[in-house]
Chains A and B, each alone.
Chain A
Amino acid sequence: MAELILKDLHKSYGSTEVLHGVSGDIADGEFVVIVGPSGCGKSTLLRMIAGLEGITSGEVRIGGRVVNDLEPAERDIAMVFQNYALYPHMSVRQNMAYGLKIRGLPKAEIERRVNEAADILEIRQYLDRKPRQLSGGQRQRVAMGRAIVREPEVFLFDEPLSNLDAKLRVQMRLEIRKLQERLGVTSVYVTHDQVEAMTLGDRLMVLNAGHVEQFGTPLELYERPASVFVAGFIGSPAMNFLPAEGIEGGLLRLESGATLPGARGAGPVTLGMRPEHLIADSEGPIRIRVSVLEQLGSNTLVHGTLEGTEREMVASLPGIHQIPEGEVLGFLIRSDELHQFDAATGKRL
Chain B
Amino acid sequence: MIENRPFLNILTHLVMILGIVMIAFPIWITFVAASHDPIRMTQVPLPLLPGDQFFTNMKNTLFGRGLSGTEIAPVWLMMLNSLVMALSIAIGKIVISLLSAFAIVYFRFPFRMGFFWLIFITLMLPVEVRILPTFQVVADLGLLNSYTGLSLPLIASATATFMFRQVFLTIPDEMLESARIDGAGPMRFFWDILIPLSRTNIAALFVILFIYGWNQYLWPLLITTDTSMTTIVMSIKQMLESAEQSPEWNIIMMTALLAMLPPILVVVFMQKLFVKGLTETDK
Contacts and interface: CB of A to CB of B under 8 A. Distances in A.
B188 A102 contact: yes
B178 A88 contact: no
Given A83-B172, A98-B192, A89 B180 contact: no
A52 interface: yes
A74 B183 CA distance: 8
A72 B282 contact: no
Given A85-B174, A132-B282, A73 B196 contact: no
A81 B174 contact: yes
Contacts of A110: none
Interface string B176-203: 0111111110001000110011010000
A79 B183 contact: no
B183 A73 contact: yes
B8 to A, nearest CB: 43
A43 to B, nearest CB: 11
A182 interface: no
Contact of A72 (B180, B188, B192): B180
B282 A77 contact: no
A102 B184 contact: yes
A146 B183 CA distance: 13
Contacts of B178: 79, 81, 85, 87, 146
A167 interface: no
A85 B192 contact: no
Contact of B283 (A51, A52, A77, A88): A88
A25 interface: no
A71 B183 CA distance: 8
B196 A77 contact: no
B197 A88 contact: yes
A78 B181 contact: yes
Contact of A73 (B175, B181, B193, B199): B181
Interface residues of A, number: 22
A71 B175 contact: no
B183 A99 contact: yes
Given A87-B193, A132-B282, A52 B177 contact: yes
Contact of A50 (B179, B181, B192, B193): B181
Interface in A236-257: none
Contacts of B174: 81, 83, 85
Interface residues of B, number: 20
Contacts of A103: 183
Contact of A79 (B181, B184, B197, B282): B181
Interface in B187-246: 188, 192-193, 196-197, 199
Given A98-B192, A102-B188, A87 B180 contact: no
B177 A99 contact: no
A58 B283 CA distance: 36
B53 to A, nearest CB: 51
B182 A98 contact: yes
Contacts of B183: 71, 73-74, 99, 102-103
Given A88-B197, A89-B196, A89-B197, A52 B180 contact: yes
B193 A77 contact: no
* Most B CB within 10 A of own CB, among A50, A74, A102: A102
Given A73-B183, A102-B183, A103-B183, A81 B193 contact: no
A85 B180 contact: no
A102 B177 contact: no
Contacts of B179: 87
A74 B172 CA distance: 23
Interface in A44-97: 50-52, 71-74, 77-79, 81, 83, 85, 87-89
A77 B183 CA distance: 11
Nearest to A152: B181
B170 to A, nearest CB: 12
Contacts of A132: 282
Interface string A256-280: 0000000000000000000000000
A102 B182 contact: yes
Contacts of B196: 89
Given A98-B192, A132-B282, A85 B182 contact: no
B271 to A, nearest CB: 21
Interface in B255-283: 281-283
B18 to A, nearest CB: 44
Contacts of A83: 172, 174
A98 B196 CA distance: 14
A73 B186 CA distance: 13
A92 to B, nearest CB: 14
Interface string B146-188: 0000000000000000000000000010110111111110001
A87 B184 CA distance: 13
A50 B181 CA distance: 8
List 3 tightest A-B contacts by C-beta distance, closest first.
Answer: A73-B183, A85-B174, A99-B182
25 contacts: A71-B180, A71-B183, A72-B177, A72-B180, A73-B184, A79-B177, A79-B178, A79-B181, A81-B174, A81-B177, A81-B178, A83-B172, A85-B177, A85-B178, A87-B175, A87-B193, A88-B197, A88-B281, A89-B196, A98-B184, A99-B181, A99-B182, A102-B184, A103-B183, A132-B282
Given A78-B181, A89-B199, 19 more contacts: A51-B180, A52-B181, A71-B180, A71-B183, A73-B180, A73-B181, A73-B182, A74-B183, A77-B181, A81-B178, A83-B174, A85-B172, A85-B175, A85-B177, A88-B281, A88-B282, A88-B283, A99-B181, A102-B188
Interface of B: 172, 174-175, 177-184, 188, 192-193, 196-197, 199, 281-283
Interface of A: 50-52, 71-74, 77-79, 81, 83, 85, 87-89, 98-99, 102-103, 132, 146
